């Protein structure tokens, strides 16, 4: 079997290099997969850059600017996604007309610089919170290269390899989400005071060191892109496309676009489905801490510990799901796996609907700044030895008549969403890349990434208002309705969500 016949059942992060048909082809194949692995690493670092400071964001903000409140913290959380949403189409368009290493190096350098900016946000005498906000906007802007990464992997893999490569990339992203908070926890031993490097006026402490570590990772990433990444573009059978030319004057990559049209309805549908997938997970990760504190009367410290363990468990579960998805999609097809993923996610949220005669403990103490956002991030701060009221805040009137969610419900929901979300995530943008076919995908992937970033921005806003005002019944019922809507959209456009080559009769489905 030749290299180009390798399918998406290959093990995670591994390609089969046996059976070369020639030295040149063998070297092209190895170079192509080395470059794809650089993209895996870039995706990994993108997610690490988001999560490595997230648990210390609130205490760092309070430390450098006492005027910052919970409402400003909401903007801090949204800043990353907003920056990524703006940047994704820009970098995607750039990658369509120039060598991919150019937008990649530029975006990673912006990310690297923004992390250094974050570490120095304490230096200005005033408006420190705005400096911190801008640093997170630029970190997110740099993470707009996710569109370029997805575009590159889509263009450098055959139709058979695509699902496996996209699953590998998602696994790297999930691993980054796991290791980011773990690295932050490991660096917390430095403490709040840390050490001062006087000649560069830098305080190395538990808040600044993670950002500087992310900057070091960025430097390594730039070197890999410059030294290892090569331009590769293959057709859907895995053969190198000879239509790529590099002019001696400026090195511009010229890719001939296919005269056959892309199904724009399928493109729009894929963006909507991806938005819903990212929206429901953003709601899930946002609500976990306040929900557990309200329903189980956990303290802030307990909520952080237990939910941290749960999120790590979901991360490892996701990696296993990505491996299974590769096999399932190869056997049953991408669309059935996506449909099953939505069904499992629906069950995960349906389980969370309250029932029974057991009601949550009411927290009658009048806690200052007891908003959803402040409770989410106050959970990362030590309780400084004082007695901490626990339970459902009395300001949330629904606490008095809405049954409590049981711990077994919560854990079961976590397990189901930990299966449904990664399956939907990888299948939605794998299908998307196949629908686009041989056309340069930078701009299209930019819009897909922007769609996901918009969902991650709107999801927390949605749940903070609906959950706080109306409670979990309304919040999770609306999410279930949204998932049902996604299933209806998927079924109604099922026949159109097919690969470009299948649509135009080049291969048989």
d(CA 95, CA 101): 8
DSSP 406: P
Residue 47: the pLDDT is 84
Q: Using CA atoms in the order 427, 428, 430, 434, what is the torsion angle rounded to 10 degrees?
A: 130
Q: What pLDDT is attached to residue 498? A: 86
Q: What is the mean pLDDT of each run of 10 residues along the chain (509 residues)?
A: 43 46 70 91 86 76 75 75 89 88 94 93 86 91 89 85 83 81 79 80 86 92 92 74 43 47 89 92 80 82 75 83 88 92 94 85 57 51 55 82 89 92 88 82 83 84 81 91 95 89 65
Q: Nearest 5°: phi and psi at 389?
A: -65, 140
Which of 504, 447, 458 has its CA nearest to residue 88? 447
Same-fold call for 23-256 versus 267-509: yes
d(CA 411, CA 205): 35
Supply the DSSP string of 414-465, one letter for each residue: HHHHHHHHHHHHHHHHHHHHHHHTTS--HHHHHHHHHHHHHHHHHHHHHHHH
Please give the CATH architecture assigned to the domain spanning 267-509.
Answer: Up-down Bundle (1.20)
23-256 adopts what CATH topology? Growth Hormone; Chain: A; (1.20.1250)
**pLDDT value at position 304?**
66
Helix (H, G, I), strand (E, B) or coil at 70: helix
Would you call 48 exposed, middle or buried from its count of C-beta atoms within 10 A (0-12, 13-18, 19+)?
Answer: buried
pTM for the full model? 0.75
Give domain limits for the chain.
23-256, 267-509
| pLDDT for residue 9 | 42
Task: Give backbone dihedrals phi and psi of 245, rounded to 5 degrees, phi first.
Answer: -125, 145
Distance of CA 199 to the CA centre of its chain: 37
- From residue 445, alpha-carbon distances to 92, 145, 148, 195 in Å are 7, 10, 7, 43
Query: What pLDDT is attached to residue 52?
Result: 83
pLDDT of residue 19: 43
94-104 per-position pLDDT tens digit: 988 888 889 99
Model pLDDT for residues 350-371, shown as the tens digit of each residue: 999 988 788 888 766 444 445 5
Torsions phi, psi for 370 (to 5 deg) = -90, 45
Q: Please, are residues 222 and 108 in contact by the beta-carbon 8 Å criterion?
A: yes
């Amino acid at each position: 079997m030749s290299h180009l016949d390798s399918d998406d059942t290959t093990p995670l992060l591994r390609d089969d290099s046996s059976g070369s048909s020639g030295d040149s082809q063998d070297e092209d194949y190895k170079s192509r997969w080395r470059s794809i692995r650089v993209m895996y690493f870039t995706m990994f670092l993108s997610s690490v850059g988001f999560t490595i400071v997230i648990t210390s964001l609130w205490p760092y903000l309070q430390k450098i600017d006492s005027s910052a409140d919970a409402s400003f913290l909401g903007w801090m959380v949204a800043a990353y996604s907003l920056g990524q949403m703006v940047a994704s189409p820009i970098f995607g368009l750039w990658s369509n007309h120039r060598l991919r290493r150019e937008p990649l190096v530029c975006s990673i350098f912006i990310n690297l610089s923004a992390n250094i900016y974050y570490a120095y946000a304490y230096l200005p005498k005033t408006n420190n919170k705005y400096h911190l906000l801008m640093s997170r906007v630029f970190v997110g802007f740099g993470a707009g290269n996710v569109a370029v990464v997805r575009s590159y992997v889509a263009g450098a893999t055959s139709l058979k390899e695509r699902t496996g490569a996209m699953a590998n990339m998602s696994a790297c992203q999930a691993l980054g989400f796991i290791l980011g908070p773990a690295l932050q926890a490991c660096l917390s031993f430095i403490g709040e005071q840390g050490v001062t490097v006087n000649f560069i006026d830098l305080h190395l402490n538990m808040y600044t060191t993670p950002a500087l570590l992310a900057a070091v990772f960025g430097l390594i990433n730039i070197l890999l892109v410059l030294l290892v990444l090569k331009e590769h573009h293959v057709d859907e059978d895995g053969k190198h496309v000879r239509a790529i030319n590099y002019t001696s004057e400026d090195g511009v990559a010229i890719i001939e676009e296919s005269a056959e049209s892309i199904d724009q309805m399928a493109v729009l549908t894929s963006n909507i489905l991806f938005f819903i997938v990212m929206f429901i997970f953003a709601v899930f990760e946002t609500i976990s801490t306040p929900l557990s504190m309200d329903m189980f009367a956990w303290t802030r410290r307990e909520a952080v510990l237990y939910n941290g363990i749960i999120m790590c468990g979901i991360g490892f579960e996701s990696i296993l799901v990505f491996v299974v998805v590769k096999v399932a999609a190869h056997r049953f097809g991408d669309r059935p796996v996506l449909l099953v993923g939505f069904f499992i996610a629906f069950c995960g949220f349906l389980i969370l609907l309250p029932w029974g005669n057991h009601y949550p403990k009411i927290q009658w103490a009048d806690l200052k700044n007891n908003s959803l956002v402040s409770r989410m991030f106050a959970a990362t701060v030590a309780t400084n030895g004082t007695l901490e009221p626990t339970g459902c805040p009395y300001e949330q009137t629904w606490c008095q008549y809405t049954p409590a969610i049981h711990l077994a419900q919560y854990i079961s929901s976590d397990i189901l969403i930990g299966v449904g979300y990664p399956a939907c995530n990888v299948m939605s943008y794998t299908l998307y890349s196949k629908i686009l076919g041989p056309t340069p995908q930078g701009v299209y992937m930019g819009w897909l990434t922007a769609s996901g970033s918009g969902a991650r921005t709107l999801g927390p806003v949605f749940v903070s208002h609906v959950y706080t005002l109306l409670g979990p019944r309304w919040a999770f019922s609306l999410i279930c309705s949204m998932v049902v809507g996604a299933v209806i959209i998927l079924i109604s456009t099922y026949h159109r969500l097919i690969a470009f080559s299948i649509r135009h009769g080049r291969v048989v489905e």
